[in-house]
Amino acid sequence: MAEVDTARFLADLHELRKIGEFRTGVHRPTYTPQDMESRRWLMSRMAEVGLEPSIDGLGNVLGRHPGEGPRLLVGSHIETQNEAGWLDGALGVVAGLALARAGLPVDVVAFADEEGHFGSFLGSRSLIGALDEGEIDAARHVLTGQPLREALAEAGLAGLPRLRLDPARYKGFFELHIEQGTQLERAGLRSGVVSGIVGVSLWRITCIGKQDHTGGTTMAERKDATVAAMRVLSLIDERFPMVAAERTVWTCGRLAIEPNAPHIIPGRAEMIFQFRDIDEAVLDRMGECLKAIVQEVDRRDACSVSLEPVSRSAAAISAAPMRAALETAATKHANGQWQPMPSGAIHDAQHVARIMPAAMLFTPSIGGISHHWSEDTKEEDLALAIRILADAAESYLSA
């Protein structure tokens, strides 16, 4: 059995934490000097554990195992949100190093810009061949508007070729990540084997009414966009539970009415509505239900109500034998202290799953905090996670 050095694993995590240190967290936005320093640190660590490191034209770092197959790919991302946590992403990358150090035949990967400073999963999509040059040309920093090409040039990456993952090289991809929620903590558990990563279906619902004075317009004359929005949300609240699966979630996170003034009847309301599930069939069913609701309110209400899809990311069920390996290892190391669970957040593994078997392991987030410098996980839970992952990787490789 592979002996993983948990102390060294934790020491690596703490060393990486010093790069871009911010309070107890880190600040390493994509392509900043701190981010690039962390990529160089990673490459030197890869060399140290016997991998052949390379960095590509988007900043993806890949450490190749020099031996023969079968191999695994293990990793996550290394840049962070602004003033964010020390484990989000970094944990999965350093886990890969630990497995390589333990002698397992793994390639280690750090996908660039998982945190979306310049786009949506640019690094992992590039590595699986799902990102064209046109999108790179057009991409800009979501806040500053800096062109991606310019940021790449400043980071010294311009002109480097982009790498592609060869699915034939790997038996599968493992990603270890913090939960970023409180389900494990609330259940008093120490580990979660991810059953699948949810697909996210995002929609824009627009209600067009007529802007009018709140005093001079009778109730019969009104076309109040807020009332129409309320009717849509009310029907969703009533009907979605009837078509949802056990872990489906739905949210109206954005709702803007215009002109949003106390004495004016709103003429327009716009909602961004989403639902998530690990089962594509459930997502389809919810979509049909939403269409019917919007159509009904449009037909009955004084306002016109319309629906347009914004985006949909594919759900990714974890590869069954990889998941089974994780569950067996979790039971061995933490019997009664782990659970199967969906990942409600999207991860690089969702994209990698399009070209090879993939699975994920979660470790608890204290207080569910993520994307904040105070994000943390107990060290004994981190150590447990790397033992589970190493065991699962070894047994899956030999299966």
Can you give the binding site for a second copy, defined by CB under 8 A?
179-183, 186, 198, 200, 202, 212-219, 221-222, 224, 226-227, 230-231, 233-234, 237, 241, 244, 247-257, 260-266, 272, 274, 276, 343-346, 368, 370
Q: How far is the CB of 92 from a second copy (least distance, A)?
A: 17
* CB closer to a second copy out of 59 and 364: 364
- Residue 179 or 394 having the CB closest to a second copy: 179
Answer whether 140's CB lies under 8 Å from 118's CB: yes
- Residue 184 CA to residue 380 CA, distance in Å, equals 15
For residue 290, the minimal CB distance to a second copy (Å) is 15
Q: Provide the minimum distance between the beta carbon of 88 and a second copy in the complex, in angstroms, as a whole number.
A: 12
Helix then strand then coil, in percent of the chain rounded to 5, is 40, 25, 35
**Nearer Cβ to a second copy (40/186):** 186
Q: CA 69, 71, 73 angle in degrees (round to 5)?
A: 155
CB of 326 to a second copy, least distance (A): 19
Nearer residue to a second copy within complex by CB, 57 or 344: 344
Q: For a second copy, which is the closer residue by CB, 8 or 247?
A: 247
Pairing relation of β-strands 61-64 and 52-55?
antiparallel
Q: How far is CA 269 from the centre of its chain?
A: 29
CA atoms within 13 A on the CB side of 35: 32
Rg (CA), the chain: 23
147 or 344, CB closer to a second copy? 344
- 206 versus 395: smaller Cβ distance to a second copy: 206
Least gap, CB of 324 to a second copy (angstroms): 24
**Closest separation in Å from C-beta 159 to a second copy:** 34
- Using DSSP, state whether 329 is helix, strand or coil: helix
CA distance 361 to 33: 30
Q: What is the DSSP string of 230-269?
A: HHHHHHHHHHHHHH--TT-EEEEEEEEEES--TTEE-SEE
Shortest separation between residue 101's beta carbon and a second copy, angstroms: 31
